[in-house]
C-alpha cells in the first residue's frame, strides 16, 4: 500500500489535510492535528509519504491517537516512510506522536527531511521500540536531515536491531527516544553514553536516548 498525507497550517484557519491510504489526520484543536490510522500500515512493502508544512507565522501541533505498528509483509519485511517538514518564517511546529513499534521480523526505514527558516521554531520527537511483548528481532533505521535556510543544521543516522552494525542480542539497544529542538541554547548534557543532549553548530540541539525499552511517556 502507498500512503500519502499532507498537512498544511496557515495563520487564521484550520490546517488543511489531504490523505490517501492508511493514515489520515483529524482536527482536534484550532492548531492541533492528530494522526489516525485508517488501515494496517506499514506492512512490509508499504510506502508512506507524509508532508507537513507550516506557513509563515502559523503554529501547528501534531500528535497521534495510537502507536504505529510496523509488521512484516507476506513477500518482504521492509517498509519505508518519508517525512517532509517545511516551516516558514516565524512558524512553529510541535511534533510528538506516539511511538513506532517494529514487530519481530519486520524492518522499517524512516527518512526525515526538515527545511526551516532561521526564525522558525521546532520540536520534533521520534520514539521507536523494537518488538512487542515477548518478541525479538526486527530492525529499524532512521535518517534525519535538517537545514536552516541554506545552512545544514543536522545530518544524522541511527540503526537498531537486526542488520545494524552494532547489533547484539544480549546488550544491544532496542528502543530510541530522539528529540530535535530549535532554537535551544541549553548546554550539552550526558546522563550516560546512551543518553545525551548535544548542541548543534548552527543552533538547536539533538537529544538521543537508547535502551532496551522505552521509558514512561509523559503526557502533553
The string of pLDDT tens digits covering residues 47-62 is 999 999 999 999 999 9
Cβ contact 81:42 at 8 Å:
yes
Dist CA 97 CA 194 (whole Å): 22
The residue ranking higher by pLDDT, 131 or 47, is: 47
The residue ranking higher by pLDDT, 218 or 83, is: 83
Mean model confidence pLDDT for the chain: 91
List, for residues 189-212, the tens digit of each pLDDT value: 998 878 999 999 999 999 999 888
Do the domain assignments include residue 54? yes
Do the domain assignments include residue 93? yes
Picking from 77, 89, 92, the residue whose alpha carbon sits closest to that of residue 124 is 92
Do the domain assignments include residue 219? no
Do the domain assignments include residue 220? no
As to burial, measured by CB atoms within 10 angstroms (0-12 exposed, 13-18 middle, 19+ buried), residue 1 is middle
Do the domain assignments include residue 218? no
List, for residues 81-109, the tens digit of each pLDDT value: 999 999 999 999 999 999 999 998 899 99
Domain tally, the chain: 1
- State the pLDDT at residue 16: 98
Whether the per-residue pLDDT at 78 is higher than 50: the answer is yes
Dist CA 144 CA 28 (whole Å): 28
Domain that residue 175 falls in: 2-211
Angle at 2 between CA 23 and CA 98, to 5 degrees: 30
Q: Residue 205: in which H helix or E strand, if any?
A: strand 205-211
* 159: CB partners within 8 A, 6+ apart: 139, 140, 141, 142, 165, 166
Whether the per-residue pLDDT at 164 is higher than 80: the answer is no
Of the pLDDT bands very low, low, confident and very high (cuts 50, 70, 90), residue 4 is: very high
- State the pLDDT at residue 168: 63
Do the domain assignments include residue 216? no
List, for residues 35-46, the tens digit of each pLDDT value: 999 999 999 999
Whether the per-residue pLDDT at 1 is higher than 60: the answer is yes
Whether the per-residue pLDDT at 220 is higher than 60: the answer is no
The pTM (predicted TM-score) of the whole model is: 0.92
Of the pLDDT bands very low, low, confident and very high (cuts 50, 70, 90), residue 174 is: confident
Amino acid at each position: 500500500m502507498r500512503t500519502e498525507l499532507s498537512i498544511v497550517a496557515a495563520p487564521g484557519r484550520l490546517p488543511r489535510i489531504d490523505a490517501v491510504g492508511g493514515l489520515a489526520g483529524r482536527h482536534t484543536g484550532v492548531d492541533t492535528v492528530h494522526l489516525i490510522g485508517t488501515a494496517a500500515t506499514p506492512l512490509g512493502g508499504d510506502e508512506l509519504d507524509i508532508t507537513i508544512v507550516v506557513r509563515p507565522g502559523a503554529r501547528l501541533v501534531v500528535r497521534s491517537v495510537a502507536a504505529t505498528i510496523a509488521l512484516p509483509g507476506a513477500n518482504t519485511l521492509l517498509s519505508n516512510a518519508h517525512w517532509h517538514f517545511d516551516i516558514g518564517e516565524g512558524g512553529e511546529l510541535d511534533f510528538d506522536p506516539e511511538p513506532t513499534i517494529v514487530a519481530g521480523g519486520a524492518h522499517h526505514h524512516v527518512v526525515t527531511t526538515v527545511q526551516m527558516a532561521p526564525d522558525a521554531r521546532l520540536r520534533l520527537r521520534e520514539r521507536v521500540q523494537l518488538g512487542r511483548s515477548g518478541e525479538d528481532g526486527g530492525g529499524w533505521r532512521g535518517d534525519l536531515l535538517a537545514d536552516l535556510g541554506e545552512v545544514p543544521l543536522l545530518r544524522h543516522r541511527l540503526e537498531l536491531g537486526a542488520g545494524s552494525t552494532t547489533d547484539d542480542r544480549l546488550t544491544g539497544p532496542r528502543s530510541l527516544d530522539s528529540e530535535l529542538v530549535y532554537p535551544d541554547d541549553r548546554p550539552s548534557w550526558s546522563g550516560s553514553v546512551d543518553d545525551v543532549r548535544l548542541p548543534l553548530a548552527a543552533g538547536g540541539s539533538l537529544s538521543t536516548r537508547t535502551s532496551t525499552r522505552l521509558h514512561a511517556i509523559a503526557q502533553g
